[in-house]
Amino acid sequence: MSVAPAALAEMQSAVLDWYAGNARDLAFRRTTDPWSVLVSEVIAQQTQAARAADAWTRFIDLFPTPNALAAASPATVIRAWRGLGYNRRAVALREAAIAIVEDHGGRVPDSYDGLIRLPGIGPYTARAVLAIAFNRPVAALDTTIRRVLTRAFTGDDDVPPRTFQALADEYVPAGRGATWTHALMDVGAAFCRARDPRCDACPLASHCKFLAAGRPPVAARGRAGSKPFRATTRWLRGRILDRLRDSPDGRWVTFDGPIGTHDVDAVIEALGDLASEGMLEVDDTGTGARLRTER
């Protein structure tokens, strides 16, 4: 699973040399400001890179510092999040901003422990901020980077997570944490794709352990037992929030009928779930709602 030092140096050079001439020009890559990087990583979760870059530009213009986001109302933040989906991320990001202001003097923590304690910040985002904003030699393992490292570097898709993280950290070139993270992302997007990989053109082709072993890359399988109902519930939640985004602050919107294929009981249940997650308020009837306006 480990890579010999000479081979590792060649693989690092192959990735970095290719990236130097082929890097995607994404707006959020033009900064190493820790807050800007943190926001970009939260936005980029489950969002295509180009679309995430556009959304990040708009969002960071509105909330250029943790203090700016912490001072905004939940309603303002949810409106700014429109079109990005997974609206809980917006609420959690605002809560993280509040924690940064109250517990860290308005500065994004520069340690893994400090970052992982922020609301909504998981291991990947914490490591991505450390690598990109602080240039630390840590591997940020999202699906794309994990796929590249598994196929080309370890050649083993059954490595225990903790062991894999330690190996991935060893692969980071000294002093190049930020560039390495972006480069692996782009190699994964351009060549080492889950489906229809372009192995013949990949800069790692001559070093790839999967290819050397005659193992064609296989697309990752979906989670067993996943249910389409969760996606349709997400659709309903999105439609509810869109109606509220279109309503002025403080005005109640009545939900007393079906939305799409969801009957009124499903709508009311979704309102309760959204209220429990801090995204909106529900009136005493259970059918009136508005985005949270208090700070």
For residues 129 and 195, membership in a common domain is answered with no
Query: Would you say residue 117 lies in a domain?
Result: yes
Query: Would you say residue 242 lies in a domain?
Result: yes
For residues 166 and 180, membership in a common domain is answered with yes
Per-residue tokens: 179: 């560039």
Query: Would you say residue 69 lies in a domain?
Result: yes
For residues 90 and 48, membership in a common domain is answered with yes
Each residue's pLDDT, cut to its tens digit, for the chain (295 residues) gives: 678 889 999 999 999 999 999 999 999 999 999 999 999 999 998 778 888 999 999 999 999 999 999 999 998 999 899 888 778 889 999 999 999 999 999 999 999 999 999 998 999 999 999 999 999 999 999 999 999 999 999 998 888 988 999 999 999 999 999 999 999 999 999 999 988 899 999 999 999 999 888 875 554 444 444 444 344 688 888 888 888 888 777 778 888 788 888 887 888 888 888 888 888 888 776 778 888 777 6
- Report pLDDT for 1: 61
Query: Would you say residue 53 lies in a domain?
Result: yes
**pTM for this entry:** 0.78
For residues 204 and 275, membership in a common domain is answered with no
For residues 16 and 147, membership in a common domain is answered with yes
Per-residue tokens: 255: 């939900």
Q: Which of 134, 168, 203 represents a domain boundary (last residue)?
A: 134
For residues 97 and 159, membership in a common domain is answered with no
- Report pLDDT for 227: 42
Query: Would you say residue 219 lies in a domain?
Result: no
For residues 13 and 152, membership in a common domain is answered with yes
Q: Which of 134, 155, 183 represents a domain boundary (last residue)?
A: 134
For residues 144 and 17, membership in a common domain is answered with yes
CATH of the domain at 269: 1.10.10
- Report pLDDT for 225: 44
For residues 94 and 65, membership in a common domain is answered with yes
Domain extent for 145: 5-23+139-212
Any idea which residues carry the catalytic annotation?
41
How many structural domains compose the chain? Answer: 3
For residues 145 and 10, membership in a common domain is answered with yes
CATH of the domain at 82: 1.10.340.30
- Report pLDDT for 146: 94
For residues 17 and 154, membership in a common domain is answered with yes
For residues 37 and 125, membership in a common domain is answered with yes
Query: Would you say residue 218 lies in a domain?
Result: no
